[in-house]
Amino acid sequence: MIGDYTLSIERKNEYASAGPSIMAHPWHTFSVVDVLRRLGVTLEGLSSARAAKILEQTGSNQLHERPHAGLLAMLLNQFRDVMIAVLLAAAVVSGLLGEFTDTLVILLIVFMNAVIGVVQEYRAERAIAALKALSIPITNVLRNGQVISIASTEVVPGDLLYLEAGNLVCADIRLTECIGLQVDESALTGESNPVMKQTDAIGQVDIPLGDRNNLLFRGTQITHGRGAGLVVATGMQTEIGRIARLLDSSHRPLTPLQQRLARFGRVLAIAVLAICAVVFLFGLLRGEPTLLMFLTAVSLAVAAVPEALPAVVAISLALGAKFMIRHQALIRQLPAVETLGSVTYICTDKTGTLTRNRMRLEKLMFSNRIYSRKDDLDGRVAEQVLKILLLNNDAQLDSEGKIQGDPTEVALFKFARHAGYEPELVRAAAPRISELPFDAERRMMTTLHEVDSGIDAYTKGAPEHVIQCCVSMLTDEGSQPIDRPYLNQQAINLAQSGFRVLALAARKWPAAPEPPSAGMLERELEFIGLVALIDPPHRKVKRAVKRCISAGIVPVMMTGDHPATARAIARRLAIVDGDDRILTGVELEALTDQAFSEIVSKVRVYARVAPEQKIRIVTALQNNGEFVAMTGDGVNDAPALKQANIGIAMGMNGTDVAREASHMVLLDDNFSTIVAAVEEGRRIFDNIRKFIRYTMTSNSGEIWTLFLAPFFGMPLPLLPVHILWINLVTDGLPGLALAAEKKERDLMQRPPRLPDESILSGGMPWHILFIGLLIGALSLGTQAVALYQDNPHWQTMVFTVLTFTQLCHVMVIRSGKQSLFTSGIWANPALMGSLALTIALQIAIIYTPLTQTLFKLQPLTGMELLYCILVSSVVIPAVEVEKLLIRRGLIYRKPALKKQTAV
């Protein structure tokens, strides 16, 4: 049946000594006491030692994947390419015809190429595995009598977990405590509506998963409330694990960029094969040996088709994403790296992202007077205010005496404590018996407390919402009629000074209302006072905003704060200037989609906006052709994060649900980190393009050299082994070293890349054609001069020129516009080291007797080698002239982006 907890005999024996029994139990039918007894635990939680013993027996709490291919399998996979298979067949044919030297060299080069491919694939796997390890969720568990945070993979059966809205459930759990707990189980059951949970046992055994409302299942999401429960199954023994056993999760799809390059590679392969066929036929017509021409055509095809390009891109993206972690940006999905370069809008939360999320209470307003945090507070209302700050508050002291909780509540907690109120004593005198958690619609939080005279209800929230629910105002002289316009204006005045403002209210009840609801508790309140807090901006945010604007990226602030507070912060950060429009959530709700679409590009700040409205903002921008990055931290932000081109979750204060829906996680919750990630994404994409420019131009040069030689009546310029060697040494280390190229100076002065822009845009096809022709002309020119002089070393000279021109080319294309001498010849040590090694290898095979025989080369004289170097260096001024023309806008002008509205 569905949900049957079954284990093999072997696993049962393994678990027998593990401590808790995790045999097949209908956990939903047991009371909490029975669950504790069957698991062999208590509500005091496990000890670390016992948890470690159970973990050793049950294994890590994660779904198993098929093991990745080993090194031998990776090596064998390198020989599955059609071109390599043809080349191996050609080597066999050469051996059968007695050309053992050719066979040996071909096999050697193919093997070396396979080794390089294995290294590339292994590095990519390691980098991606490292990224995956960093994205493991954290969960709160009771261990050794204390609530601690551990990786969800370390959770074991018998653990007592604490969960709240926004958490992803990491195991199957039998609930022991619920406070308004609602769970989205659509991923498991298909039920779209959240399920309300409870803790009582259910008598019926055979009921669907969706009806077992005292259980939580791995992979589901908590949407409301909080609770605690005992882990009854982990890893592959969970319900989702049972399903996972039916699936093959080892396949990782290609990124969109890799898919585009793979399609490009297939088209290129067809073109190259056609050219190779022409070269083969012309060779036969000239009387060249059939085997030689066949080997030449196959070698040219192998060299010309960049079959390793998708792998190189994967490595660049993975290593780039790993590098971003140093900038506190965790890339969860590799396509995000390439997408970052197209971002035109960054829609960001204020608190914690633009600001430090270190709230500090600065002012209080009660009894018609504003008090500074340094003023002495006394009187009846002051006492009530300070009590509310502690009672309507979820902040707590941990075992080390540090205050843990939401930054706003931590600030309120600190203030009351510094005013002389002991949290433990205040809370003991008025224990909380129920609550209505804050939500984005009500914008309030209410708690109920039992006191000698009955029940006290305390409410805090947005002033315009709380004040509207009040019917009187408490002063030191007693209760007075409320002056709502006056109080609202006081809240606006504080907000216009850049403060975040909360209103406090209370109500007395003879007994707790049943059931407690917002409609019942949050009406006919008595206004107590206003609290003004400040959250200073991050130090580097203003500079990051300016860099955004210079890069053609529009920053947009979205906040739940009062419009006046939002405007004050936005002005301070230069997001808005003068009287730029600020749109509130209420105003947004009143607009039609058409009307909003017409003004969305002019709005820089959204105030009092609900998380549900963010998806509308993102969609409107996307419908206008924008590429949107958006931040979020709550459960309700998840749909907008998925909708955005780049969803960015908060790593420090965000929920598991938001992180799961995101493409990128900010480990420091800082806006400047987003800008740094965009910059790094642009650099990575730039370097991928440089690799493509380099390898395709090199291949073009080789093709033109072999294709045009017969038309000029010259013999075949190169042997097959020469072509394979050039492809091995020039496409290897120098090409990969381009991934280490530093960012160009104008990187953040360029407009965003068009989303549908081809990887070969910006004049790259023309560069590949003309510089490839130049390389071919220099090689054929060298051949013509040497043949005219009856120089017996002519083939070695062509071989050397073709190699050195490609090395000169890779050095000079390190920047798309800047001169080599401006960007710095030694700016990329990895590239210079790879060039030195490649030159050394080239010199070695020319002057080493063994390789001379294998490659059929002759040692060049000093003048011949100097001639080859000078001829090859012509590529440098040619590319420099091209870059000069680009800088002056005379060639390769990109189409203008749709004009962005700048601040």
Residues marked as catalytic? 349
The answer to whether the CB of 105 falls within 8 A of the CB of 297 is: no
Decide the pairing of beta strands 500-509 and 582-584: unpaired
Indicate the burial class of 773 (C-beta count within 10 angstroms; 0-12, 13-18, 19 or more). Answer: middle
The answer to whether the CB of 489 falls within 8 A of the CB of 464 is: no
Beta strand extents in 344-499 (DSSP E only)? 345-349, 360-366, 369-372, 396-397, 403-404, 432-436, 444-451, 454-461, 470-475, 478-481
For residues 610 and 268, give the distance between their C-alpha atoms in angstroms, rounded to a whole number.
Answer: 50
Per DSSP, 249 falls in state -
Decide the pairing of beta strands 664-666 and 646-650: parallel
**Reduced 3-state DSSP string for 198-235:** CCCCCCCCCCCHHHCCCEECCCCEEEEEEEEEEEEECH
The answer to whether the CB of 649 falls within 8 A of the CB of 665 is: yes
For residues 183 and 225, give the distance between their C-alpha atoms in angstroms, rounded to a whole number.
Answer: 9
Interior CA angle at 443 toward 440 and 449, to 5°?
120
C-alpha Rg value of the chain to the nearest Å: 34
For residue 346, list its beta bridge partners. Answer: 555, 629
The answer to whether the CB of 299 falls within 8 A of the CB of 105 is: no
For residue 361, list its beta bridge partners. Answer: 533
Q: Which residue's entry shows tokens 């009371």?
A: 31
Write down the H helix ranges in 606-655. Answer: 611-623, 638-643
For residues 721 and 107, give the distance between their C-alpha atoms in angstroms, rounded to a whole number.
Answer: 10
The first and second tokens of residue 53, run together, are: 């013993």
**Rounded to the nearest 10 degrees, what angle do helices 720-730 and 829-847 cross at?**
160
**Rounded to the nearest 10 degrees, what angle do helices 671-708 and 541-550 cross at?**
40
Of 648, 636, 663, the C-alpha closest to 166 is 636
For residue 345, list its beta bridge partners. Answer: 554, 628
For residues 700 and 260, give the distance between their C-alpha atoms in angstroms, rounded to a whole number.
Answer: 20
For the CA atoms of 321, 325, 330, 331, what is the dihedral angle to 10 degrees? -10
The contacts of residue 566 (CB under 8 Å, 6+ apart) are: 350, 557, 559, 582, 605, 606, 607
For residues 347 and 555, give the distance between their C-alpha atoms in angstroms, rounded to a whole number.
Answer: 6
The contacts of residue 32 (CB under 8 Å, 6+ apart) are: 174, 176, 199, 230
Of 410, 530, 541, 408, the C-alpha closest to 470 is 530
The contacts of residue 483 (CB under 8 Å, 6+ apart) are: 473
For residues 147 and 45, give the distance between their C-alpha atoms in angstroms, rounded to a whole number.
Answer: 9
The first and second tokens of residue 862, run together, are: 């000093």
The first and second tokens of residue 872, run together, are: 């090859």
Buried b / exposed e across 862-877, counting CB within 10 Å, b at 16+? Answer: eebbebbeebbbbbbe
Q: Which residue's entry shows tokens 């399920």?
A: 195
**Largest distance between two CA atoms of the chain:** 115
